[in-house]
Structure 1
Amino acid sequence: MKLLTFEHNGSRHIGALLADSGTISDFTASEPSAPYFRDMLSLIDAGADASAEARDLVERPKVCLSYSSVRLLAPVPEPRQMRDFLCFEKHLRQARANRYLFGIGDKAMDPANVEVPAIWYEQPIYYKCNRFSVIGSDQDVRWPRYCKIFDYELEFGIFLGGGGKNIPRDDAHKHIFGYCIFNDFSARDAQMREMQGQLGPAKGKDFDTGNVLGPWLVTADEIADPYSLGMIARVNGDEWSRGNSAEMNHKFEDILVHASSEETLHPGEFFGSGTVGNGCGLELGRFLKPGDLVELEVERLGVLRNRVVTNP
């Protein structure tokens, strides 16, 4: 299923995109007394029986809406927790090779000569995102006033359907509810400045509208192999980035094993893949400007589309 959260006539509903891609089965309107169709977290929490009812409403819709008649929100507008990982070695090498653009070093490096810390290979590395700054596709991203160099990040991620602690790797895939695209917008100059203090990122990432999820949440049963997905970024219709999820050094199963070590994970938490190689302006030496339309496309997950605007 391609699960959606949307606004229609001033009310927030959840539903699923039907096969024609132009029609939505409105779960909330179809079963208004069902608590698990109130919002996406309630559906995730309710488990397999609620998901089976949702599938029935996809196969036999009761209330349908035109996709063009709704305002799309992030599939989970306020995740329970967000972690973003750094799973692509090519991105790590190429981004560090270009730090001279921010006065860190005096020239570009050969990415092959970038020293990658041993710990990066030993365990998945992550930071916790601001879960309150999430928006969805076709919503404007506001350029922070303190930022002069703004960037996109071509990523995707998972939402947990089942929580747990000390999750065995062989069982980790069973905890994945679904997948969606993630654009982790970055105030690059702020990020580069603050991370020289050996902590962060902070204001390089934490600003309203900075975390974009969507356009929908594709349930795990629809994605046979999450490690073979083509990934593309376009700016104003021109392709800037192209990569593939096959290049992930740490898989989502590794992420869940590490994150759950002596820590209980909960349904509705989000885990990002980090940026695919070639997947941001920092790697390319080119950056966004106000008014740019950024589109991230991930095979089988759709197209996530946002315009960058200045604060009024």
Structure 2
Amino acid sequence: MRFARHRTPQGPRLAVLDDEDVLIDLPEGLDLPALLADDGGPAAAADTALRAASPGVPLIDADLMAPLDPPTVRDFSTFPEHTAGIARNIDANAGVPEEFWEIPAFYFSNPYATAGPHDTIPVPPGCERFDFELEVAAVVGRPGRDLTVEQAAEHIAGFVVLNDFSARDVQFHEMRLRLGPAKGKDTATALGTVFVTADELLHRASGTSYDLTMRVLVNDEEIGTDQLDNMAWSFPALAAYASRGTEIRPGDLLGSGTCRNGCLAELWGRYGQDFHRPLRPGDVVTTEVELLGGTRNRVVPGSAPHPIRPGSRT
């Protein structure tokens, strides 16, 4: 099943896609996290809506929103070549740290920064090196705590494309304090056109993930491509680690982290800072992942930062 959310005169509406890529609305007031929390709810709601055969809106004509507003966003690092490329911005000889193979590390991102697949994206205040990051996120469907990897597989409801827009100069500045990233990732995280249930991808299962081609383009020029099954950590492993000592709940996002060649900062680290200029207003960033859809967002000017000063300096 595939679900999308679109703007209507009556407000946001969750819908299921039929075989012709037409949005068939679900009952008013439903959102995806609540639907996922009801065991069997997505299948039942989709079946009822499709059987009713009420008029729908073609996906290409819909005013799409993010398929869900996630209550939490954890963004992991699972692609080793991306990790090495990023590290080379600091150390030209850097490789993949040993810790990468010990834990599927993540940071918490800002759920309030969720943007739709076609929304405009403002440049973050004070940012001069704006970047994109091509990822896929798993969406949690069942609550759980201290899960094993095997158990965690049953808690993943499906997947959505994720573009983690990043203020690289802000990020690298703040991370010199050995915290973060925080403000470097705080302005916009675009989610793809559709949420796709996990069963739709079973025939493409491969290694730790799925054999799906990922692409990112700027102004329709391809910048990078990779395969999702190049992840070193599986989505169930991410869910298990996320649940360690705490809870995961329906609607939580677990980002794969950026794929190889999926952002400018990795390419700057590998090929030099002049490989491609940072994003600027007017640029259009497009992401595509087989079977999962994608995003297409235009960058627009943002606001200037207000000065903030410490009370004293010793």
TM-score, with structure 1 as normaliser: 0.88
CA drift at 1:51:
2.6
What's 2:25 paired with?
26
**Mapping 1:1-312, distance limit 5 Å:** 1-21=1-21, 23-28=22-27, 32=28, 38-58=30-50, 60-76=52-68, 78-97=69-88, 99=89, 104=90, 109=92, 113-207=93-187, 210-224=188-202, 225=205, 226-285=209-268, 286=276, 287-311=278-302
Distance 1:233 1:245 in 2: 13
Instruction: Report the more deviating stretch, 273-282 or 168-177.
Output: 168-177
Answer yes or no: is the 8 Å Cα contact 1:91–1:278 preserved in 2.
yes
Retained in 2: the 8 A contact 1:43–1:51? no
Q: Which runs of 5+ in 1 are unaligned?
A: none
8 Å contact kept, 2:123–2:280: no
Task: Kindly indicate whether the alpha-carbon contact (under 8 Å) linking 2:81 and 2:96 is maintained by their aligned counterparts in 1.
Answer: no
Contiguous gaps of at least 5 residues in structure 2: 269-275, 304-314
* Deviation per residue, 1:142-198 (Å, 9 max, x gap): 111310010000101111111111112122211111101000000000011111111
| 2:210 aligned counterpart, secondary structure | coil
Q: How many Å separate the matches in 1 of 2:44 and 2:222?
A: 39
Distance 1:131 1:67 in 2: 25
Aligned sequence identity (%): 34
Alignment root-mean-square deviation, CA: 1.6
Q: Is the 8 A contact 2:87 2:95 kept in 1?
A: no
Equivalent residues of 2:14, 2:30 under 8 A apart: yes
Q: State the TM-score, normalizing by the size of structure 2.
A: 0.88
For these two proteins, the number of residue pairs brought into alignment is 290
Q: Aligned partners of 2:189, 2:47: CA distance in 1, in Å?
A: 28
Q: What's the counterpart of residue 311 of structure 2?
A: none
1:177 match: secondary structure: strand
1:293 to partner: Cα distance: 0.7
Contact 1:8 1:69 in 2 (8 A): no
Q: Tell me how far apart the structure 2 counterparts of residues 38 and 152 of structure 1 sit (CA, whole Å).
A: 31
Shift of 1:38: 1.9
Separation (CA, whole Å) in 2 of partners of 1:49 and 1:96: 43
Query: For residues 45-72 of structure 1, what are the alpha-carbon distances to aligned partners after superposition, in whole Å with 9 as ceiling and x for unaligned?
Result: 2221453231342355334223355321
- Write the distance in 2 (CA, Å) between the matches of 1:151 and 1:257: 29
